[in-house]
Amino acid sequence: MRESSEILERLVAGDRAALARAITWAESGDARFRDVLSGVNEHVGRGWRVGVTGPPGAGKSTLTNELINAHRDAGRTVGVVAVDPSSPFTGGALLGDRIRMDGRTSDEGVFIRSMATRGGHGGIARATVDAVDAMDAFGLDELLIETVGVGQAEYDVVGAADTVLVVLCPGAGDGVQALKSGILEVADVLCVNKADLTGADRLVSDLEEAVELRAHEPHEGWVTPVVSCSAGKSEGVDGVLAALASHREWLEDGRLEEHRKTRRLA
């Protein structure tokens, strides 16, 4: 208890090492995390949570890096949790390294953490939410949760975010496969990355059509926008940010509390 209250104090005071420790506890399901969290509850819920998911190679890490840079340029602090639910050992760490490789290592306004997920642990969604709660309590403004793949486990991980950004790219199975995997159900914003490649326009229109068809079914009243960008060329990222911002505005117009209640993990 003494240790957890010390971590709690340091966390709220902005000590990065304390944040790292709290996340390690969250990750391993250490009971001390609950003591920390119960002490910071009133600080949780201020940051904005965006889940970034999509098939491997779509450009999630590249785009995440662009989003980090844009937020930092606008003076906002950023926390990133990178998680690979399907690969119990190294995947998550590799993902985090890939984002980190692009710089910002010495930037105090960015905190990047990859979750080392345990095989069969089953609690990865919980651990991820806990890690994000810790970053939130620490005071980071923008909280990005990035997963490596697309599937039920990944949806569970990003599902507790305020906004779910699904990143796709032309080629490799294309939109049809993505649609089959139930991506539309989880996406608040659909992003076609690699707009510089052939087939991007087609994918955008396929997705728009699918969203249009689905717009007739009730889905909290939000019509998922389809945006495109070339994250690798730093092009079109403003459009992605604008779509994310409009979903945030829509939620903050009286819908946020209910939305968070619906998406909260049991």
Positions that interact with ligand GDP (CB under 6 A) = 54, 56-62, 98, 193-194, 196-197, 230-233
Angle between helices 32-40 and 2-12 (to 10 degrees): 40
Which one, 234 or 246, has the nearer CB to ligand GDP?
234
Q: How far is the CB of 248 from ligand GDP (least distance, A)?
A: 23
Q: How far is the CB of 175 from ligand GDP (least distance, A)?
A: 16
Which one, 7 or 192, has the nearer CB to ligand GDP?
192
Q: How far is the CB of 58 from ligand GDP (least distance, A)?
A: 4
Q: How far is the CB of 98 from ligand GDP (least distance, A)?
A: 6
Residue, CB closest to ligand GDP: 232
Which one, 53 or 163, has the nearer CB to ligand GDP?
53
Return the bridge partners of 144, or none. 50, 80
Which one, 52 or 251, has the nearer CB to ligand GDP?
52
Q: How far is the CB of 203 from ligand GDP (least distance, A)?
A: 13
Q: How far is the CB of 45 from ligand GDP (least distance, A)?
A: 28
**Phi first, then psi: what are they for 77, rounded to 5°?**
-85, 155
Q: How far is the CB of 68 from ligand GDP (least distance, A)?
A: 13
Which one, 37 or 81, has the nearer CB to ligand GDP?
81
Residues 6 or more apart whose CB falls under 8 angstroms from that of 120 comprise 88
